[in-house]
């Protein structure tokens, strides 16, 4: 089984995102009829356009077998609209939060909330996701919700479970006040002049914090997918946070046939390498030869966090960051004459 996995650059400065294309098949060159093409998130409109060109030029096709929207954030979903509009897509995997209104309507303080009122509110709030659904419906592309346990031949959905997904929905932005606080979303205090203090880091030291999960509810609904291409395992994580990743790991470990995540060939580092999404517990379970980070050019120094790229190196990964460039990981694929990417160096000093 040959494969190519491409990270398309997304954004500059504060605006990043994910845009990932992959294809696999018995052989890739000249045998496009036998290849399967998958797109995972499309980043912004611009990166969505770049994805379309990439698939036409490098994969030699206008067909995408499966498009996957990991979660409804604009920096992941809006480029997928461009992919759906411009290529023939066989199926779309995405969550449809508005279809869970009935199940979650009693999770709010206000007892008068109806399922239909909630449904409208969610559709309006998550415009990128409702746009995606509208395009798919217009183009008669079937939509399936990717929940834990779904097996689609070469890939397996490790998370989120439907139950966990629905527990997160009331905590999405623009929702009425939920009855419960998840207790994991501590406010992120930002001061005007954030003082950066530095600490030394070295192999043998663990600086990752096991503190509470502070990523957004929406990020934690990210679809976590494991590809197994003839024993070569690749894990995609969207913007999943610590809680979501630990749930996916637990599911993988406790299945009747457990799935190890300590022998990956490629790990898609969640949420652009933010230190809010990875902790020591996650790092102990997930090990990969290579780790890819999608992060914008000239961006937020926390994307990726030096603590995270260092921790990955301590666990044996070669780490590569897009920063405005493309990244390709392949096995018996076409290297296209591209040069070797420069791995992220180990940073002896990191932000505290």
Which residues of this chain interact with Zn ion, rule CB under 5 A? 75, 239
Q: Phi, psi at residue 81, to the nearest 5°?
A: -60, -40
23 or 303: CB nearest Zn ion: 303
Is residue 180 helix, strand or coil? Answer: coil
75 or 201: CB nearest Zn ion: 75
* Shortest CB 327 distance to Zn ion, Å: 16
66, 58 contact by CB (below 8 A): no
58, 25 contact by CB (below 8 A): no
The Cα 177–Cα 164 span in angstroms is: 18
287 or 297: CB nearest Zn ion: 297
79 or 146: CB nearest Zn ion: 79
For 246, the enclosing helix (H) or strand (E) is: helix 242-254
75 or 213: CB nearest Zn ion: 75
* Shortest CB 238 distance to Zn ion, Å: 7
* Shortest CB 127 distance to Zn ion, Å: 16
Question: Greatest CA separation found in the chain?
Answer: 62
* Shortest CB 273 distance to Zn ion, Å: 11
Among candidates 321, 149, 333, which has minimal Cα distance to 225? 149
* Shortest CB 274 distance to Zn ion, Å: 9
Q: Which own/partner contact pairs does 143-151 have at CB distance under 8 Å and 24+ positions apart?
A: 143/91, 143/92, 143/93, 143/94, 143/96, 144/91, 144/92, 144/93, 145/93, 145/94, 145/95, 145/96, 145/99, 146/68, 146/93, 146/94, 146/95, 146/223, 146/225, 148/248, 148/251, 149/251
9 or 25: CB nearest Zn ion: 9
236, 149 contact by CB (below 8 A): no
The Cα 321–Cα 185 span in angstroms is: 27
Burial of 68 (0-12, 13-18, 19+ CB in 10 A): buried
The token pair that represents 112 in the structure block? 């008068």
* Shortest CB 221 distance to Zn ion, Å: 12
* Shortest CB 349 distance to Zn ion, Å: 26
35 or 274: CB nearest Zn ion: 274
Whose CB is nearest to Zn ion?
239
For 34, the enclosing helix (H) or strand (E) is: none
* Shortest CB 18 distance to Zn ion, Å: 6
17 or 170: CB nearest Zn ion: 17
């Amino acid at each position: 089984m040959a494969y190519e996995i491409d990270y398309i650059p997304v954004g500059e400065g504060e605006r990043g995102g994910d845009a990932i294309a992959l294809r696999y098949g018995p052989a890739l060159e000249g045998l496009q009829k036998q290849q399967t093409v998958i797109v995972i998130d499309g980043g912004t409109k611009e990166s969505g356009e770049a994805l379309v060109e990439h698939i036409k030029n490098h994969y030699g096709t206008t067909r995408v077998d499966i498009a996957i929207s990991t979660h409804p954030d604009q920096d992941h979903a809006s480029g997928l609209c461009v992919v759906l509009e411009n290529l023939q897509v066989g199926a779309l995997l995405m969550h449809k939060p508005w279809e869970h209104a009935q199940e979650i309507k009693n999770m709010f303080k206000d007892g008068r909330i109806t399922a239909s009122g909630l449904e409208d509110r969610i559709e309006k709030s998550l415009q990128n996701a409702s746009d995606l659904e509208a395009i798919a419906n217009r183009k008669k592309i079937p939509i399936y919700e990717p929940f834990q346990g779904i097996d689609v031949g070469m890939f397996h959905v490790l998370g989120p479970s439907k139950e966990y997904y629905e527990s997160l929905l009331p905590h999405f932005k623009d929702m009425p006040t939920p009855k419960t606080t998840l207790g994991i979303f501590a406010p992120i205090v930002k001061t005007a002049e954030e003082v950066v203090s530095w600490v030394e880091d070295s192999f043998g030291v663990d600086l990752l914090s096991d503190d509470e999960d502070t990523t957004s509810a929406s990020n934690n609904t990210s679809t976590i997918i494991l590809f197994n291409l003839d024993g070569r395992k690749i894990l995609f994580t969207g913007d999943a946070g610590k809680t979501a990743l630990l749930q996916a790991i637990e599911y993988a470990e406790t299945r009747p046939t457990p799935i190890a995540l300590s022998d990956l060939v490629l790990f898609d580092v969640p949420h652009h390498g933010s230190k809010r999404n990875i902790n020591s517990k996650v790092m102990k379970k997930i090990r990969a030869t290579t780790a890819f980070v999608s992060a914008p050019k000239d961006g937020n120094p926390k994307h990726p966090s030096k603590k995270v790229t260092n921790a990955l190196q301590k666990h044996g990964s070669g780490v590569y960051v897009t920063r405005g460039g493309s990244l390709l990981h392949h096995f018996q694929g076409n290297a296209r004459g591209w040069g070797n990417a420069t791995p992220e160096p180990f940073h002896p000093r990191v932000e505290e």
